[in-house]
Amino acid sequence: MKPSLPQGTRDFDAATVRKRNYIFDTIKTVFELYGFQPLETPAMEHLETLMGKYGEEGDKLIFKILNNGLDNAEKAEKVKAGFEKILEGKSSTALTERALRYDLTIPFARYVAMNYNQLTMPFRRYQLQPVWRADRPQKGRYREFYQCDADVVGSKSLLNELELVAMYTTVFNRLNLPVEIRLNNRKILTALAEQCGGADKMTTIAIAIDKLDKIGIDKVKEELQQRGLSGEQIDLIQRFLEINGTNEEKLATLKAIFSGNETGEAGISELEYIIETSNVKRQTSDINKSDISPDSYQDQTLVIDPTLARGLNYYTGTIFEVKALNVKIGSIGGGGRYDDLTGLFGVPNVPGVGISFGVDRIYDVLTEINGFPADVHTGTRVLFFNLGTAEALKAFELMQQLREKGIAVELFHEPSKFDKQFKYAEKKEIPFVAILGSKELESGEVVIKNLKTGTQSPLAFGAITDYSFAG
């Protein structure tokens, strides 16, 4: 049997794991600096926990797990009974009762609802785990991929939004990845719908926004007219779609458009607060820069984008989206504020706000811009040559001393010709070799060779722990 991998899944070799961990660790470190605590949930949830939460399309893309023990006669009868449902694309509990995690939000909501009385509110959690979706695989889209979320629930304060924006800028500064953080507020879109005749106009507006890039403003206007919007309403939408300039200018235009509309004014004022307070860091960057990490000066751009709509049905306040600058790829992050995380699980009125990092795409961007630090590849530092039984045991003794010092070392597994052992070191990109033959065993020395520079020099056994295997 010639082995292969299921479609849309991947093995990660050592170099890839290390680069992915560099991204994961950078994000986790920042999450922790902001007081977020780790949570891990199981890969499988009850099917009923997941079904109906992601829309009809989403339900179909959930990986369901076949019940075990179907050879049991009693169970088999139930499977038969429920079988017609399966053929209709519905799930039969006789056949499947569990499913794989589809995102991290619903398991988080399930966790908060289950443990609500034990949790100290506001509750800040981060979660970095794989999810599974039966999507058609294509370039950059996998059936198993990681999500990376930070949420704070149990608080309506805008200070949370301020901190989440700061987390985005800090993470992308640390990754040396220039991004644009786009901001909007769902209340502004609601206000626009209100002014166009009511909340049911939201879909029409969303479609117009979506098509603007593809078909241009004139065709959009035509379509809005066909959908029964008045000239005045269409003018308003056009004015809204054409908002541009600096953040300050955009805020001014928004204020003019929504003057007197309570919902709109609330959304604009929230947006304004985040933009203004996010400048705090810039004002403090006059402290000694050489003394501190790059976090203190804000390289990242915060941009108001009134047309940003992201997950309209779910979010109720601030909306975030992150785009990498200079690289053509979809958004590499996003999130927003919601009013009710856990209502579906019997615990109403838990508001919150969260952000998410698209770690697979961030990996792709860093690969494209050659953005991984050189020292991400931290494999074995020193290969000890194996030149005989007694020599190998003496090598092992020295190696144990180096390992105690935190230096990763390997012994070639069997006595072989120099050539073969050198090749192994080269293939595995091990920067140093240590040669300990019968002559060295007698003289109490080991020869250290730097494979990059080609220099080599003898070293007394007792001096090996003082040697720096750097560079």
Stretch 362-391 residues interacting with a copy of itself (CB under 8 A): 378-380, 386
Should residue 155 be labelled a site residue for a copy of itself when binding is judged by CB under 8 A? yes
Binds a copy of itself by CB under 8 A, chosen from 141, 239, 413, 439? 413
In the complex with a copy of itself, which residue's Cβ is closer, 321 or 391?
A: 391
Q: Which two tokens stand for residue 27?
A: 């994000």
Output the CA–CA distances (angstroms, integers) from residue 441 to 61, 171, 396, 445, 446, in the order listed.
64, 51, 13, 7, 8
Should residue 81 be labelled a site residue for a copy of itself when binding is judged by CB under 8 A? no
Query: CA 4 to CA 259: how far, in whole Å?
Result: 61
Query: CA 149 to CA 107: how far, in whole Å?
Result: 12
Binds a copy of itself by CB under 8 A, chosen from 53, 54, 58, 61? 61
Binds a copy of itself by CB under 8 A, chosen from 105, 147, 160, 300? 160
Should residue 408 be labelled a site residue for a copy of itself when binding is judged by CB under 8 A? yes
Should residue 411 be labelled a site residue for a copy of itself when binding is judged by CB under 8 A? yes
Q: Which two tokens stand for residue 443?
A: 């003289």
To 5 degrees, how large is the angle CA 21–CA 319–CA 115? 65
Query: CA 26 to CA 8: how far, in whole Å?
Result: 26
Should residue 442 be labelled a site residue for a copy of itself when binding is judged by CB under 8 A? no
Should residue 401 be labelled a site residue for a copy of itself when binding is judged by CB under 8 A? yes
Should residue 356 be labelled a site residue for a copy of itself when binding is judged by CB under 8 A? no
In the complex with a copy of itself, which residue's Cβ is closer, 12 or 418?
A: 12
In the complex with a copy of itself, which residue's Cβ is closer, 389 or 453?
A: 389
Residue 315 counted as an annotated binding residue:
yes
Q: How far is the CB of 470 from a copy of itself (least distance, A)?
A: 16
Neighbours of 398 (CB within 10 A): 21
Contact string 220-239 vs a copy of itself (x = CB under 8 A): --------------------
Contact string 260-299 vs a copy of itself (x = CB under 8 A): -----------------x--xx-xx--x----xx-xx---
Judged by CB under 8 A, the number of residues near a copy of itself is 116
| DSSP label at residue 273 | H
Neighbours of 340 (CB within 10 A): 15
Contact string 89-108 vs a copy of itself (x = CB under 8 A): xx----xxxx-x--------
DSSP SS3 for 187? helix
User: Cβ(136)–Cβ(92) under 8 Å?
Assistant: no
Should residue 79 be labelled a site residue for a copy of itself when binding is judged by CB under 8 A? yes
Q: How far is the CB of 337 from a copy of itself (least distance, A)?
A: 13
Residue 105 counted as an annotated binding residue:
yes
Chain centre distance of CA 391: 48
Q: Which two tokens stand for residue 45?
A: 């949830």
User: Cβ(432)–Cβ(381) under 8 Å?
Assistant: yes
Binds a copy of itself by CB under 8 A, chosen from 24, 63, 168, 372? 63
Residue 283 counted as an annotated binding residue:
no
Q: Which residues contact 363 (CB under 8 A, 6 or more apart)?
A: 19, 20, 23
Q: Which residues contact 270 (CB under 8 A, 6 or more apart)?
A: 158, 161, 185, 187, 317, 318
Q: How far is the CB of 285 from a copy of itself (least distance, A)?
A: 10
Tokens 């959908």 — which residue? 227
Q: Which two tokens stand for residue 332?
A: 């590499």
Which residues between 15 and 44 bind a copy of itself (CB under 8 A)? 17-18, 32-35, 37-44
Q: How far is the CB of 322 from a copy of itself (least distance, A)?
A: 19
What are the backbone angles phi and psi of residue 47, rounded to the nearest 5°? Answer: -55, -40
Q: Which of 20, 24, 36, 30 is nearest to 108 (CA)?
A: 36
Q: How far is the CB of 266 from a copy of itself (least distance, A)?
A: 17
User: Which residue ranges are tagged as binding site for L-histidine?
Assistant: 103-105, 133, 147, 151, 310, 314-315
